[in-house]
Structure 1
């Protein structure tokens, strides 16, 4: 739509429209095309909004030099405000350069640029990430004391997260209670967060209390909320409670998303209850449900951890065969499966597995090395493997040469 408006010239784009277009171009076509677009827009639309949008594009791409250079230009033009500095604060927070945040906030103070809720929240997040409880508490107090700042549930939840990370459960509970006081019962995002936070400190009664409030106030509880309560209950080792929630979800859901029961399946596997996990999946299939690749991978992971490698391989093959895009196999579980075939000297089994794997991800040098070694152990010719390796653009390295030195060819 944005491109159509621009190309057809039916509307004169405002600086705000241009800023949105700039952000979209960067996300879809890359930063170079965004720069080209910015350089070609009329001078009258090169305002603080468009400059800030370009700065944000650079920040998202982690372009330190470009961020610094553009900031100098913006300062020279007088195009800096709270938004500009919030972009910078978040940029350096994401980069882990927490020491830069205090310098930037000092600059804001010197230039008379006011702190807003985003400024404070970003600084608090950095303190939490650095496990700096004193700093976190100092920022929270400044927020509470500032009449211009309207605190929301998220601020207190962030503080609770900091206390949980530091092992200060009592202080975390106090923050969660303050957060709750600012949450409406139909705010499922906040309720989901509270569920997982209370579970992380073992507060089962609070988990059920929040869930009951959410369940009673919402006509249609989302899959995300069901997932949150199941994650919380399995974390608390309340398998029976999680089973009841899954049953409730299955009886009411409009969209059967296997990611919801996956958490129960993973919990079954963790406790060695593989018969329950397999039974659940079988019953779902009988009802016309299709397990996701991640469902089968949950099973594979459980069996591998339990040292039932052959069963793990069977489940990983089911995962690779599942008709769902976007999933990629766990590298550690994948390596275990490949190693299983290699140790068995099972060339045919490994080749079948790799045929499925190829449909999901490009084959790596490590996969080809395993295939070469398995062929050699089984006394099979390796010329076809080398040809396929070449076709896939996988170059030989020192390890490849070492493997080949063991070849009778």
Structure 2
């Protein structure tokens, strides 16, 4: 643990911070990200120096037994995951559709992503592989659930019982594993609802935790919190609170995540690597200054970092363009005897490629590929995406030819992404056409090609693809709406994009993504169209996307471009418990109709 702390902190943490850490006090703060960037030397490292810590407005002191922060999710900095909120996950449009493939290639056991899988669960690799092998074989119960219409899981289970078939815990577990693997959370939740209401399974903490997780994903965290109150006290153990913690962290809810962590400590649960990793995942997104505090707490409490911990830290360093720090974490992993799996290697390669370190990237890619790619086919998606990042069309073609004889859905999707990145649209379309002829595709599959059309401003092709989606029976949901809105905006047809959003709202089944609203609002802001910018702002509040700072930025920009005074924006922010960061404070100062100037002072 000391080696990890030395690697992750020594480069940037000086005497004041270390003295502060001697009693393991985590001192969160609410000053703006822009101010943080000004406070630290611009050498790409993610933790502040002692000088920067000295500049922090230290309003909050946290003991070694507690995390706290005045700032909650309402005052967080926007990031790429902002569009996920309660039951807004983009997977919702696929919850009640067919799996992503014909079933032959959907196991995750050998699949490696070229991005860090900072998900809400983690497990021992050996146990994960064992579970994956079990999940490969579809049980009869799972087939019965899968064949039922989306909202008729109850009837399928009733028929199962009427036929006198047995419902064993093993069959139920296997069915739920398969449903979760396909992200068919709606069906999985229906199964657990039916089992609980019909008393067909004696729930343990594991079942309660699973249902809590599914409720959070499908119905939102407020409903999950309500469900927690109905769980018998004897089953309210660490697993249940870990599940709640992970869901809060996945939605970037700083206040709730920290409060749940505090609650777990008050209840006497030991600090686990899993719980610490959830904090690291959250702070990686919205407050990197706190990462040092978590690592120091882990050392103080003798919490050994898991391989997942190292993955998070590697990603943090990579995203901060700190290649030296990232390499040192890798050395620490090796010194601690932690092997680099292909997922971690892929993350390293991606960050090296982004930093322009081609030789290092190629060395990792050769290591991933191995001597015989045909015996190691499951790494093909990783290789396709990474070679595309390097701009190596020849290598993408070479890897694809290996896959082409017996492709999996994941191979095809990666090839479509790779050709799209290389601006070879025809090749991407050819692979996608082969996919659509071979498998029944979901909306999420279509979105891969749709994103390419959006990126290259191909409005007509995008509209044709969406029509094909509808004709094939795909559920049109948040991902598709977002793509259509982007296509119209890029074509300069903001009003049509607005109309698409309005139609999506009228359907009422699913909630548009946060980014979809912002794409339109930012266009109105550029025009100085205050009326329509305020209209989108109101819709954001109706969709429960309030308490975010980005819409206020756009709103202030609309008033500025319209050359109108922005009365009351500060008061509106205060009502939402949002504090302006440096950039927004500057915007608001320019819009203040009562601001003093040298001329106004003379006239006064």
The bucket for the TM-score relative to the shorter chain is: 0.5 to 0.7
Q: How much has 1:207 moved relative to structure 2?
A: 0.9
Aligned pair partner of 1:85 in 255, 260, 276: 276
Contact 1:108 1:114 in 2 (8 A): yes
Aligned pair partner of 2:302 in 102, 105, 112: 112
What residue is the counterpart of 2:314 in the other structure?
A: 124
CA distance in 2, matches of 1:28, 1:289: 25
Q: How much has 1:179 moved relative to structure 2?
A: 2.9
Q: How many residues align?
A: 330
Contact 1:59 1:88 in 2 (8 A): yes
Q: Quick check: 1:34 aligned with 2:220?
A: no
TM-score normalised over the length of structure 1: 0.62
After TM superposition, the structure 1 = structure 2 runs for residues 9-408 of structure 1, keeping only pairs within 5 Å, are: 9-76=199-266, 77-95=268-286, 97-147=287-337, 149-181=338-370, 185-187=376-378, 190-218=379-407, 221-222=408-409, 225-239=411-425, 241-242=427-428, 244-245=430-431, 248-249=434-435, 252=438, 254-255=440-441, 259=447, 262=450, 281=464, 304=492
CA distance in 1, matches of 2:503, 2:216: 35
CA distance in 2, matches of 1:136, 1:35: 38
Taking a change above 3 Å as real, the CA distance of residues 247 and 3 of structure 1, as seen in their structure-2 partners, is: closer
Taking a change above 3 Å as real, the CA distance of residues 300 and 205 of structure 1, as seen in their structure-2 partners, is: same
Q: How much has 1:170 moved relative to structure 2?
A: 2.0
Residues 288-297 or 209-218, more deviating: 288-297
Q: How much has 1:92 moved relative to structure 2?
A: 1.6
Taking a change above 3 Å as real, the CA distance of residues 78 and 233 of structure 1, as seen in their structure-2 partners, is: closer
Contact 1:89 1:122 in 2 (8 A): yes
Q: How much has 1:335 moved relative to structure 2?
A: 9.2
TM-score normalised over the length of structure 2: 0.44
CA distance in 1, matches of 2:211, 2:393: 47
Deviation digits for residues 3-30 of structure 1, max 9, x if unmatched?
Answer: 3333444433222222222222333443
Q: How much has 1:316 moved relative to structure 2?
A: 10
DSSP-derived class of the 2:365 partner: helix
CA distance in 2, matches of 1:259, 1:63: 28
CA RMSD of superposed structures (Å) = 4.7
CA distance in 2, matches of 1:193, 1:233: 14
CA distance in 2, matches of 1:110, 1:196: 40
CA distance in 2, matches of 1:134, 1:152: 20
Of Structure 1 and Structure 2, the greater helix share is in 1
Tell which has more relative contact order, 1 or 2 (C-alpha 8 A, sep 6+): 2
Structure 2: any 5+ residue segments left out of the alignment? 1-190, 530-541, 544-604
Taking a change above 3 Å as real, the CA distance of residues 79 and 2 of structure 1, as seen in their structure-2 partners, is: farther
What residue is the counterpart of 1:399 in the other structure?
A: none
CA distance in 2, matches of 1:319, 1:163: 38
Deviation digits for residues 10-53 of structure 1, max 9, x if unmatched?
Answer: 43322222222222233344334433433443332222212222
Contact 1:300 1:333 in 2 (8 A): no
CA distance in 1, matches of 2:503, 2:254: 42
Q: How much has 1:155 moved relative to structure 2?
A: 0.1
CA distance in 1, matches of 2:365, 2:216: 38
Contact 2:248 2:257 in 1 (8 A): yes
Deviation digits for residues 179-232 of structure 1, max 9, x if unmatched?
Answer: 333986442xx43332222112111122112212222343xx32x543432332
DSSP-derived class of the 1:167 partner: coil
DSSP-derived class of the 2:405 partner: helix
Contact 2:486 2:519 in 1 (8 A): no
Taking a change above 3 Å as real, the CA distance of residues 207 and 320 of structure 1, as seen in their structure-2 partners, is: farther
Residues 256-265 or 152-161, more deviating: 256-265
Contact 2:451 2:483 in 1 (8 A): no
Taking a change above 3 Å as real, the CA distance of residues 319 and 210 of structure 1, as seen in their structure-2 partners, is: farther
Q: How much has 1:144 moved relative to structure 2?
A: 2.8
Deviation digits for residues 73-132 of structure 1, max 9, x if unmatched?
Answer: 32341432122212222122232x223223222322332222111111111121122222
Contact 2:428 2:449 in 1 (8 A): no
Structure 1: any 5+ residue segments left out of the alignment? 343-360, 363-409
DSSP-derived class of the 2:423 partner: coil
Taking a change above 3 Å as real, the CA distance of residues 266 and 82 of structure 1, as seen in their structure-2 partners, is: closer
Deviation digits for residues 212-264 of structure 1, max 9, x if unmatched?
Answer: 2222343xx32x54343233224323355446545645654554975465467
CA distance in 2, matches of 1:68, 1:250: 45
What residue is the counterpart of 2:593 in the other structure?
A: none
